[in-house]
Amino acid sequence: MSSIVLFGPPGAGKGTQAERIMEATGLPQVSTGDMLRAAVKAGTETGLTAKGYMESGQLVPDGVIIDLIKDRILEPDAKNGVMFDGFPRTIPQAEALAEITPVTHVIAIEVPDERIVERICGRYSCAGCGSVYHDTFNPVNADGCSCGQWEEKRRADDNEETVHSRLGAYHEQTSPLADWYRSKGIFHSVNGDRAIDTITADIFVVLNS
């Protein structure tokens, strides 16, 4: 059993690449952002705690996130490992993960800050299947998503004001993790400021090396 971490700033393309890696490897995508949004929608205790942090672009407390991951990793589809998307985001989260399951590759998708606002403000997804699209860079087909259940969904926190706090949280709390993982010899960086397919190809070079 071995897991992969997709690392990078908000809007770097982690979810977009996760869809493709999932198709090719069969590893389930574990997105703490998606799990938290589901908890908010369901009105659970976790959702009630997380909501304010998410709306203001701050990180949700580590204890809440670690509890979510501990439960998720016990589900049957996680038995051969998973692909983490947006987790871990702090050193305490990474330390907890090291106790929960082994990680073989941390793949950082590098995108400069000045690209992030346009990426996030143009993002939408299919409510039916979760596929991620972009107004300019990756629009859905004229007849909708190939899943056949097309319904456009936009996130409440994908606005210019929140993007700046999310980027601030990334630089202060998440980016120190790069050195932490580098010191473990499992950190790989790919240039995320290129075409989606080119980045996918680079990720597979890393995963197959």
> Which residue sits closest to ligand ADP, CB atoms considered?
33
Find the catalytic residue in 37, 72, 119, 123: 123
What is the residue-wise DSSP string for 82-133?
A: -EEES---SHHHHHHHHHHS-EEEEEEEE--HHHHHHHHHTEEEETTT--EE
* Residue 89 a catalytic site member: yes
119 is an interface residue for ligand ADP by CB under 6 A: yes
Q: Kindly state the DSSP code that residue 48 receives in the 8-state scheme.
A: H
The CA distance from 125 to 139, in Å, is 10
Q: Helices 160-169 and 45-56: crossing angle, nearest 10°?
A: 100
Per-residue contact string for residues 94-113; x = within reach of ligand ADP by CB under 6 A? --------------------
In angstroms, what is the minimal distance from the CB of 157 to ligand ADP?
A: 6
Q: Report, in Å, the least distance between residue 119 CB and ligand ADP.
A: 4
Q: How far apart are the first and last CA of the chain?
A: 18
Active site residue ranges: 14, 89, 123, 155, 166
Residues at the site binding ligand ADP, with contacts judged by CB under 6 A = 8, 10-16, 32-33, 36, 53-54, 57-60, 65, 86-87, 89, 93, 119, 122-123, 132-134, 137-138, 166, 192, 196, 199
